[in-house]
A and B are shown apart, each in its own frame.
Chain A
Amino acid sequence: MARTRTIKVDALARVEGEGSLRLRLKDGVIQQLEFGIFEPPRFFEAFLVGRDYSEAPDITARICGICPIAYQMGAINAMEDALDIQVPRPIRDLRRLIYCGEWIESHGLHVYMLHAPDFLGLADAIELAKVNRPLVEKALRLKQIGNEILAAVGGGRAIHPINLRVGGFYRAPTKQEIGALVEPLKWAVETSLETVRVVSAFEFPEVEQDYTFMALRHEDEYPIHEGRLITNRGDDFPVRDFEDHVDEEHVARSNALHGFMKARGAHHVGPMARYSLNHDRLGATARQAAAEAGLGPVITNPFHSIIVRSVEILQACEDALRLAENYEMPDRPFIEPEPRAAVGYGCTEAPRGICYHRYELAEDGAIKSARIIPPTAQNQKIIESDLWQVVERNLHLPDEDLKWRCEQAIRNYDPCISCATHFLKLEVERE
């Protein structure tokens, strides 16, 4: 006798933005599993045509409220590539500092408010505050420190920072302004170390995958805003070759564009990829914390992503502290760009993974075309792939629990569906 199960989630909670998941089972065998989100960067790509190159950072920042720096830096890197600008070390360091601030904010929000509740069997952060208020207070303070970094470097406000521009910054912050970050960051380092310990004690569902990871690789740093692209399958190429290796396809039934590697199929970007490809670039404290948390150099269980994110918060806090302590004002806040007809490529590690920008410019610096491939678009196939395993291993659960486990699995990727902004509906049909 055929038995159909249908599980439907109208609004996936605790992810940025919304997406859709449809699951159909017949006699306990998965017939159909589709995870789908929209592609709003497409609208931005069209919207940018005709704008001046200098506007790209501020416009693309509006793609995402929680990761504006990722878009600003992707656009800036691409424009500086097009216009052949190399910025001096102090400007480079300021960029890494503000990007650390974004990682702290974004990962901090996700680990505590969005993902930890899953592991604790709690519905949301409000429930978490009821059972562990000090933990939530620490999360809020950590987030605030991320904000303070963004405000200090980004032009006096944390909300869509206004100080980043092609060529550098409109105004270089003073030594005092950056120095004010030092004490809060010392607290943040301690708190993030504690966070790794707290999350490592969670219970983790058993899922294993041999992922094709892709991330930036830098000659000496844990990568954030500079580097080449590598995979764990031996690929190693400059950012400008990205579209030779990665493509997107339209998956008609779910209205989504799925990123994939032309030669290898589904790939995986984000903290797990960065960590697995750059474990040797972690600072001593972060590497030690990861080891004590039980992590090896390569991650195979996606539920361990919460530990990896916590390790990255720690790394970002340490980097930010070091940069703040050693900050020297640049001689000039920016290099004046000279527009010309060119194509430029930029790729940085947004909190959720590599975010790629490519722009073609006209003689006068107007944008002729734009392509933006955000990390969440690239992770869609691998999210589906994880979900197959999660569902197969949890068929015995009642529908509500299976639904929650699927949501928890999706949250492993901290999908920024704000970069995709549409509605998540989970439909599971069991036949």
Chain B
Amino acid sequence: MFIIGIGNPYRRDDGAGIAVVRRLDGVAGLEVVAHHGEGLELMGLWQGHDDVVVVDAVSSGAAAGTVHRLDAAAGPLPAALFCHSSHAFGLAQAVELSREMGSLPARMTIIGIEAGDWSAGEVLTAPVAAAVAAVAAELAEGG
């Protein structure tokens, strides 16, 4: 399993994805990478992998710490969940372009952790920290 954690560790809960992969670094059987989320690079990263999990902070209006799970291989991602990307060409666009170009991994799960606080800083809010721990534990056991 190849796990990509997306985010910015200097913007509090925007670092949720990074925090998850940091916990998984060194766990046997897992390949992990931290990434800032620019879409074209993501496409290059997951190309050639069969089983990919992407973890990122999201903003959908749900309570902070809520964990969303999406099967990207199944069909187009819901635009509403990703409309607040800070990248012009971010995760959602990368998934759709990969699908169009025929390079989307056979299995791709997107785990979105609802953020509570996006301001400058390095500390996750409590509900997000808890969600990070739970997601990391789940992925460490093989998802």
Contacts and interface: CB of A to CB of B under 8 A. Distances in A.
B38 A66 contact: yes
Interface string A114-147: 1000000000111001100100110110011001
B97 A125 contact: yes
Given A43-B120, A421-B86, 16 more contacts: A13-B88, A47-B120, A62-B10, A65-B37, A65-B86, A113-B89, A114-B89, A139-B40, A140-B40, A140-B43, A140-B44, A140-B101, A143-B44, A147-B41, A147-B44, A158-B41
Interface in A222-237: none
Contacts of B9: 62
Nearest to B97: A126
Interface string B59-82: 000000000000000000000000
B120 A46 contact: yes
A62 B8 contact: yes
Interface residues of A, number: 38
A44 B119 CA distance: 10
Given A11-B83, A143-B40, A133 B101 contact: yes
A163 interface: no
Contacts of A198: none
B72 to A, nearest CB: 14
A421 B85 CA distance: 9
Contact of A423 (B37, B84, B89): B84
Contacts of B87: 16-17, 65-66, 418
A129 B40 contact: no
A47 B36 CA distance: 19
11 contacts: A14-B88, A17-B86, A59-B10, A62-B9, A114-B88, A126-B93, A140-B40, A140-B101, A143-B44, A147-B44, A159-B34
A160 interface: yes
Contacts of A133: 101
Interface string B9-40: 11100000000000000000000011111101
A113 B38 CA distance: 12
Contact of A124 (B10, B38, B84, B93): B93
> How many interface residues does chain B have, given as a range?
20 to 34
A158 B97 CA distance: 21
Contacts of A126: 93, 96-97, 100
B54 to A, nearest CB: 14
A47 B44 contact: no
Interface string B97-111: 100110000000000
A154 B129 CA distance: 31
Contacts of A46: 120
A16 B40 contact: no
A14 B40 CA distance: 13
A66 B97 CA distance: 19
B89 to A, nearest CB: 5
**Counting chain B CB atoms within 10 Å of each CB, which of A65, A129, A423 scores highest?**
A65
Contact of A129 (B35, B88, B100): B100
A330 interface: no
A18 B40 contact: no
Contact of B44 (A65, A124, A144): A144
B105 to A, nearest CB: 16
**Counting chain A CB atoms within 10 Å of each CB, which of B37, B40, B120 scores highest?**
B40
Nearest to B118: A421
A112 B90 CA distance: 15
